Amino acid sequence: MSLDHSTRGKQSLPFKPMTLGEYPDVPLSGATLYSLAEQFGNDGALDYTTANGNRVICQDTTHTASMKRTHICFSGNNNTVHLGKLSGICRLDIACIGGSTVTIGTIDIVRGATIMAAHQAEIAIGSRCMISRDVMIYASGAHGIYNSADGSRRGSATIHIGDRVWLGQGVRVLSGAKVGPNSVIGSYSVLAGKIPNNCAAAGNPCRVTSRDIFWTKESVAGNYFLHLEKSGKPTPPFAKLTEMP
C-alpha cells in the first residue's frame, strides 16, 4: 500500500507523551495501533510516516481488540515498526528509539510483552510465535563493550527470533540473542546467546536443555504422531530435528 503523504504534517495528533512501566525514565511519544489505523489506515492496512521519519506499517488492521492493546512508541527520528497480522494480544508495547527497527510477522498470541529497540538496534521476530506474560525483549546500541587487545567492538545490537518460537513467562531476551524456529524458551530465562531450531532452552544464562523437539498449542495425551495418524493428518512441517551449528 502506498503512503498518503498528506498525513505527514499531522504526526503530532495521534502520539502523546507516555512512558512504559518497565522504563519510567525513558520519555516516549506513543499511540495505540488502533488509533493510528483509525486516522491513517486504508483498505485494512496501515503505512504511516511521521514528519520526522518514524514509520508504522501493519499489513492487517482488522483485529480491533488486539490493535487497541498494542502501543507503538517512538523517541527520536527514523524509527520503523513493521507488523504483520495481529490477533490474540492482551498487551503489547513496542518502543523504538534513535533510528531503530522492530519487525514482527503474523502475531497469534501475546499475553504481555514489552519490546524495545534503542540507538540503531534491530529486533526481528518471525510469524506465529507464542509469547507469554511479563516478557521483555530489549536491544540497544547505546553502550559499547570493546576488546582490550585490538579495540574491536564486541556484541551486537540485534535480536532475531525465528518462526513459531514459544517464549515462556518472564523471559528476558537481550542484545545478541538468536533463536531458531520452533524452539521453546523456558519461563524466567535470560537469553543473550544463540539457540538452534527445535530446542528447549532455559536458565540464566539460557542454555539448551533438549534437542529434536516441537511444540503445539493444543495438548495431546500420548504420542503426537499416533494422534495425527488416527486423525488422518500429516506430520506437521515444524516437527524437525535440530540442526547442529
Catalytic residue numbers?
Answer: 143
83 sits in the region (left: phi over 0; alpha: psi -120 to 50; else beta) called beta
In angstroms, the CA 155 to CA 43 distance is: 41
Return the C-alpha torsion angle 169, 190, 162, 72, nearest 10.
Answer: 70
Q: Residue 231 burial (CB < 10 Å; 0-12/13-18/19+)?
A: exposed
Q: What is the CA radius of gyration of the chain?
A: 19
Distance set, CA 44 to CA 11, 34, 110 (Å): 20, 11, 21
C-alpha cell at 223: 504420542
Residue 221: CB partners within 8 Å, gap ≥ 6?
none
How many whole angstroms from its chain centre is CA 219? Answer: 25
- CA triple 242-243-245, angle to 5 deg: 130
In angstroms, the CA 199 to CA 195 distance is: 7
